[in-house]
Structure 1
Amino acid sequence: MDLDAFTAVRTSRWERLDALARRRRLSGAEADELVRLYQAVATDLSTIRSAAPDAVTVARLSDLLGRARSTIAGAHEPAWTDVTRFVVLSLPAALYRIRWWTVAVTVACVVVAVVAGSWVATQPDALRAMGTPSQRAEYAQDAFAEYYDPSAGFAAMVWTNNAWIAAQCVGLGISGVWPLFVLANNAVMVGATGGMMADEGRLGLFLSLIAPHGLLELTAVFVAGAAGLRLFWTWVDPGRRPRARALAEEGRALFTVAVGLAGALAVSGLIEGFVTGSTLPWAVKITIGAAALAAFWAYTIVLGRRAVAAGHTGDLDTDRAGHVLPVAG
Structure 2
Amino acid sequence: MKQQDFERRYQAQWDRLQTLAKQVTKVFPKPLSTEEAEEFITLYRQTCNHLALARQRQYSRFLTEHLNQLSLLGHQCLYRQRIGFWSKLGRLFLYEFPQLIRQEWRFFWIATLALYLPAILFGLAVWMSPDVLYSFIDRETVVNFESMYEPSRKIIGFERDSADDFAMFGHYIKNNITVGFRTFAGGLLAGIGSLIILFFNGLLFGGLGAHMINIGYVETFYSFVCGHGSFELTAIAISGCAGLKLGWALISPGNLSRKAALMKASQVSIKLIYGVFGMLVIAAFIEAFWSSSTLFPAYTKYWVAVGLWTIVICYFLGVGRRSHGSE
Which of 265, 269, 275 matches 2:290?
275
* Bigger RCO (CA 8 Å, 6+ sep): 1
Counterparts of 2:157 and 2:37, CA distance in 1 = 67
Which of 169, 182, 191 matches 2:206?
191
* Equivalent residue runs for 1:102-251 within 5 Å: 102-121=108-127, 122-124=129-131, 126-127=133-134, 130-131=138-139, 135=143, 138=147, 141=150, 145-147=156-158, 151-175=165-189, 176-251=191-266
SS at match of 2:266: helix
* CA distance 1:294–1:239, change in 2 (3 Å): farther
Moved more, 156-165 or 101-110: 101-110
Alpha-carbon RMSD across the aligned residues, in angstroms, is: 4.0
CA contact (8 A) 1:197 1:203 kept: yes
1:9-56 Cα shifts (integer Å, max 9, x gaps): xxxxx9xx99xxx89xxxxxxx9xx6426437859x99xxxxxxxxxx
Q: CA deviation at 1:285?
A: 1.9
Q: Is 1:39 aligned to 2:37, yes or no?
A: yes
Partner of 2:275: 260
* CA distance 1:204–1:114, change in 2 (3 Å): farther
The amino acid that maps onto 1:282 is A
CA contact (8 A) 1:171 1:255 kept: no
Work out which of the two has the higher radius of gyration on C-alpha atoms and give 1 or 2.
Answer: 1
% identical aligned pairs: 21
Counterparts of 1:75 and 1:127, CA distance in 2 = 58
CA contact (8 A) 1:227 1:254 kept: yes
Partner of 2:311: 295
The amino acid that maps onto 1:161 is N
CA contact (8 A) 1:94 1:304 kept: no
Partner of 1:61: none
Moved more, 295-304 or 213-222: 295-304
Which of 91, 97, 104 matches 1:91?
97
The amino acid that maps onto 2:119 is A
Q: What is the TM-score with the length of structure 2 in the denominator? A: 0.65
Counterparts of 2:183 and 2:202, CA distance in 1 = 15
Gap runs ≥5 in structure 2: 1-19, 45-72
Residue-pair matches, total: 263
Counterparts of 1:255 and 1:299, CA distance in 2 = 19
Counterparts of 2:88 and 2:132, CA distance in 1 = 55
Q: CA deviation at 1:168?
A: 3.4
Q: What is the TM-score with the length of structure 1 in the denominator? A: 0.65
